[in-house]
Structure 1
Amino acid sequence: MSTPQFQGGGRPSLRQALRQSPPLLWAGLYFFCLLSGYYVLRPVREAMAASSDLQTVFPPSLIAWFAGHGIALQDFVLQFLFTCVFLIMLVLQPLYGALVSRYPRRVFLPVVYGFFIVTLLGFYLLFNSNVPGRGMAFFFWVMVFNLFAVAVFWSFMADVFSNAQARAYYGYIGAAGTIGAFLGPILTASLVQRVGIANLMLVSAGFLCVCLVCIWRLRLWAVAREQQAQLVSGETPMGGSVLDGLKLIAREPLLRWLAAMVVFGVGVGTLLYNEQASIVRRLYTDPAASTAFFSRVDLAVNALTLVLQLGLTRWLLSRFGIAPALLIPGFAIIAGFSVLAASPLPVMVAIVQVTTRASEFALGKPARETIYTRVDRQWRYKAGAAIDTVVYRGADLSFTWLHKGLSLFGSSVVFIGGVAAAVIMTASAFGVLREEKKLPVERSE
């Protein structure tokens, strides 16, 4: 199988891009199905987190334990959930590190997605039987799925595409994912009240099965590219320690700046997410109604993301490199949170939520991922995954508890804290850009 050919510097149309690089179609289908499957489930997760009915979310024994210790669990729902998610990530990261160290790509990629498909079938049974505590378990699962499945996707794309191709094509791949992210909430909003939450698990599992087919097809091009460019083969185990990812982050300045950027980027999102959840908890008491609300927010995010990806992302990355795409989200978030600090109206929270998430998905994330096409596989599959899982959820946990403290002083103080986090995130982006200039134009091993 021939490898995709592309000479950087241009901005090919979609038709030209598909002719130049046949794997682009499979990569787009892969990301489309991955985000469709996730966004079918995301509104369910949001509804669980914002539910005012503790019996829907937590097992009776846990509710009784908190009550017996004089703690009102309903006041610490998100803090408890995010703390548990972080602890779960600490356990799973070494397991993932062992998987990618000891097994070749053709083994660990299907294993990751196969695990998520099987567990979705388990959640179908839990929701169909109304098992107490299903909401908490599902919240944990979706948070893990979101990070690991997407992190593995982008690491794999760096095996398939060169840096020049990534700058030209990642906008298209991201747009395909955004279209999938459009479809997911539409399916959820139209189906949830007719077929129930349990059957949404089967819909998501179907999308992930298509992802497995895409992985099988794309692996052929990854192997061909590695052979042609004389790169280290992904068909052999990487070896090394299960904690290599965290060690690399501690040792390499570029990875440290990337980690800092992710921490404070997550921070502004978490502060906004928690404030929005508080509002929804007050306005909606029915899980289906809150699920429909979150699906509408997701649709707005995805609409703006798609416009940016098709009209701005490819142009910026191809013509100017990653600098504008990394910096624009930071400045947009600073402006948005400054407005919220002055006027924290519910409608403004929703607007800034849409703008913040869309700029991250359309600009920040693709720009960061192009960097991984220029480094070796240890950085991508281990350090990159560690940043996207343990570091990400550690930031989630820290800012969830920070929100609890800031919220005691009102919404304006929460958003002032968000401005500070956004400033540090933007400063970290400058650090990333300084270190990124030291990398080779293309990966050399």
Structure 2
Amino acid sequence: MSDDRLLADSVDIGLIHLDHEGRIRLWNRWIAQRATRPAAEAEGLTLVEAFGKHIDPRLNLVVREAIDFGWTARLSHALHPMPLPLFPPGSDRTQRMMQAIDVTPTHDGTRRSCLLQVRDVTETVHREALLKQQAHQLRNDLLRLSRAQEELQRSEMRFRELARQAPAGLFEADADARCTFLNERCEQLLGRELAQVAGSPWPEFLPLADQDRIRDRWQLAVKSATRFSEEFRYIHPSGRTLWLRAEAGALRDHHGQIRGFIGTIVDITEFHERASRNEFRANHDSLTGQLNRDHFERHLRSAISGAREVTERVALLFIDLDDFKLINDTHGHQAGDTVLKVVAYRVRRVVRAEDRVARYGGDEFAVLLYEAGDTRTLASIVGKIAHAVAMPINLGHCHVRIGCSIGMAVFPDDAQDLNGLLSHADLRMYDTKRGRAARPGLPPATP
């Protein structure tokens, strides 16, 4: 048994690796136990062949998107609780286990495949249901407090004990958003005790950019007597930036008037950062960090639409590195990767912050220039890019130099739509390259 197989079988989650055709290449022990199908039978089959037709069709869709387009996805238990027919080991197989499935594209250098990570979230769902049940009980307890003054002390002790044991941060605030109660977990999340926040509306402790939005949402919840539910940034006193989610339901007095809210605060920083990373990976080139082709074309299409409405000019540059293959052949692909990263960095430094730079494919880059100036200005930018690219690049053991061929197309002068601009810039780039080929340039330097 290979080390990869031993490692896959030792983890406490399900792993299924699908090749570019959607056929199973890895089926670890965790999956085999819950699908009651050994790896020897499953490997080589498709998901439908391995599990039958009793799988959520959305899983097949996101698997194809991962293999065809490199998109990541998650089937969360909240929306897709049981995508695969998996059952707890030793059960009577009458009730599927609840699952969360992460679908991640992988690449072996030639073809794209994908990895399914399956987690049993049955216990998590039960705990969440229990927490919601506890929160509902807390609300009922608070309503009874306002109606039965003689039971105040007993009811308060019950609430404090439940709040102390709650895994989430619990808070209570009046209609003006001034906190009247924080449990221990909430104080830990905020890094502040109740006495430090009680005198001011809690949105005032958020970053300035978020204060107005959260304050408006709170006031709307008060006026409409609806549930408050928002995500926001929070600067912890230690200096860390957190992402928190607050959900609260209304508390009413004897006359049915809103007198405040009680709710929960949870730390969603890890989830938010993971979502941001996934979004970045989906829209950017993994080597250079610049936009990928699809995301760049979306920006270009939007720029054309905006420029058409306000009669502005937009410029598209295609940049192709000259003799890049020679660097790979002479110094290796790692050196080629270094050259691509340095070129991307230099091009990004030449253009403005609002302009867009993309690795369009291989050794080709594309630049989108908003509010393009006149011909002289554009020619100056092209010259600066060519000069920046041609500067020596340190590979550690030597320096190399590489030239580039640049083709430019301007909206609306050269074309009126995206495909026209792309075609025009591509043709001009190849015209430039043929012209450079007729005039031998500077080859990459040797050690």
TM-score by length of 1: 0.24
| Structure number with higher helix proportion | 1
| Structure number with higher strand proportion | 2
Give the number of the structure with larger relative contact order, counting CA–CA contacts within 8 Å between residues 6 or more apart.
Answer: 1
TM-score by length of 2: 0.24
